[in-house]
Amino acid sequence: MNEQTTRRLPAEWEPQDGVLISWPHVESDWRPFLAEVEPVFIDIARAVSRFERVLILATDVRSLQERLRRADLVLERIEIFQIATNDTWVRDFGPITVLDGGRPLLLDFCFNGWGLKFPACRDNRAGRGLHRAGAFGATPMETLGLTLEGGSIDSDGRGSLLTTAACLLEPNRNPHLSRGEITTTLTGFLGTDHFLWLNHGFLAGDDTDSHIDTLARLGPDDTILYVCCDDPDDPHYEELQAMAEELASFKTRDGRPYRLLPLPWPSPCHDENGDRLPATYANFLVINGAVLVPTYHDSKDLIALATVKKAFPDREIVGIHCLPLIRQHGSLHCVTMQIPTGVLP
86 within domain boundaries? yes
Active site residues: 334
The span from the CA of 44 to the CA of 52, in Å, is 12
Query: Do the Cβ atoms of 325 and 335 come closer than 8 Å?
Result: yes
Helix (H) or strand (E) holding 185: helix 179-190
2 within domain boundaries? no
- Can you give the CATH number for the domain in which 323 is found? 3.75.10.10
Q: Which residues are registered as beta bridge partners of 261? A: 225
What local confidence, expressed as pLDDT, does residue 223 receive?
98
**pLDDT (tens digit, 0 to 9) for every residue of the chain, 345 residues total?**
544 578 999 999 999 999 999 999 999 999 999 999 999 999 999 999 999 999 999 999 999 999 999 999 989 999 999 999 999 999 999 999 999 999 999 999 999 999 999 999 999 999 999 999 999 999 999 999 999 999 999 999 999 999 999 999 999 999 999 999 999 999 999 999 999 999 999 999 999 999 999 999 999 999 999 999 999 999 999 999 999 999 999 999 999 999 999 999 999 999 999 999 999 999 999 999 999 999 999 999 999 999 999 999 999 999 999 999 999 999 999 999 999 999 999
Domains: count for the chain:
1
201 within domain boundaries? yes
Q: Which residues contact 91 (CB under 8 A, 6 or more apart)?
A: 149, 150, 151, 213, 333, 334, 335, 336, 337
Helices (H), 30-79: 34-49, 61-70
345 within domain boundaries? no
3-class DSSP state of 51: coil
Most distant CA pair in the chain: distance in Å? 54
What local confidence, expressed as pLDDT, does residue 230 receive?
93
Query: Do the Cβ atoms of 145 and 177 come closer than 8 Å?
Result: no
295 within domain boundaries? yes
The span from the CA of 221 to the CA of 218, in Å, is 9
1 within domain boundaries? no
| Domain of residue 57, residue span | 7-340
215 within domain boundaries? yes
116: left (phi over 0), alpha (psi -120 to 50) or beta: left
245 within domain boundaries? yes
What local confidence, expressed as pLDDT, does residue 4 receive?
54
pTM higher than 0.95 for the full model? yes
Among positive and negative, which fits the CA dihedral 160, 303, 24, 38?
negative
